[in-house]
Amino acid sequence: MRLAHLHIPNLIPFTHASRLQQTLVSRLLTYKKLSDLSDSQPTLAPPDPTILTFTPYPVYTTGRRDLPPPSDTSISHTTTKPPWLPAPLEPIRPILTASPPLAEYHATLRGGQTTYHGPGQLVAYTILDLRRLRIGPRAHIRLLEETVLDVLASHGVQGILSDDPGVWVAPSSTKAANWIENNAFAARKIAAVGVHLRRFVSSYGVGLNITEEPMWYFRQIVACGLEGRDATSLEGQGVQVKGGIEEVAKRFVQAFVGRLNEGTASGGVGPKIDEIFEIEEKDVLS
């Protein structure tokens, strides 16, 4: 099995990344629907699993937990200068409605609550057929988190997983083992994780902070609904990434494939990725 990697090297609008993601998701869903309708084996090969990596212009996004009930049809979630905002973003309305706005707002279907994406951050969306890979929803989340742990370790940073979502880093004066043992120290969040599944096709994924540029935006909100929890970045941990976000994106994809091929996520029964190949936007949107 092959895995495609689409990396966008320049800043892009969040809506453009969403369009790329939705196109990839639709391909997988269409293939699954045609396969269900076919009495025989499908003649076309399934679409390749794909990881989309990019950095958007400043944007706050909400997951399903911060949205009102779908029965409330009086509310629109699509405008970038909204008359309505979810409660966690109401305090920063001036940031979102300035002319020009300092950041946009977009609702998403991913799990979780409110977070920020923007310059200085790598966003990695995994568009996968989990059933084809023999991965369950919880194993998928853990696979993403452990991939981030591997990326951090490759830069000499020890990440931590806890009961709270995402990936964390213990204060520099604290050994991670001690933090894991008693949870008595204030770890900082270095990566957020949130996904969406439809017919076991995954979308969304990870936001990993590379530089300190996103920190001001994080300080304006209660990210992921966790009061009093600060964010950090690779730069904040003393790491200067020579190859920039593109280099981290490649490490993320390689680490993801490495973890997947270990077989832990699938219980040893899933297929292996034999090749990582790069694609371009035109391969998706043409």
Which residues belong to the active site?
A: 224
The reply to whether 15 sits in an annotated binding site is no
The reply to whether 27 sits in an annotated binding site is no
Cβ neighbour number for residue 153 with a 10 Å cutoff: 12
The closest alpha carbon to 191, from 173, 171, 216, 164, belongs to 164
Residue type, 2: R
The reply to whether 114 sits in an annotated binding site is yes
The reply to whether 156 sits in an annotated binding site is no
The reply to whether 116 sits in an annotated binding site is yes
Residue type, 135: I
The reply to whether 117 sits in an annotated binding site is yes
The closest alpha carbon to 61, from 21, 7, 25, belongs to 21
| Rounded Cα gap, residues 201 and 132, in angstroms | 10
Residue ranges with strand state E in the chain: 2-7, 50-54, 59-62, 104-107, 115-117, 121-127, 159-160, 167-169, 188-198, 201-209, 275-279
The closest alpha carbon to 195, from 149, 128, 147, 247, belongs to 128
Residue keyed to tokens 């990725």: 273
The reply to whether 192 sits in an annotated binding site is yes
The reply to whether 207 sits in an annotated binding site is yes
The reply to whether 111 sits in an annotated binding site is yes
The reply to whether 176 sits in an annotated binding site is no
Indicate the annotated binding residues for substrate.
Answer: 110-117, 192-194, 205-207
Indicate the annotated binding residues.
Answer: 110-117, 192-194, 205-207
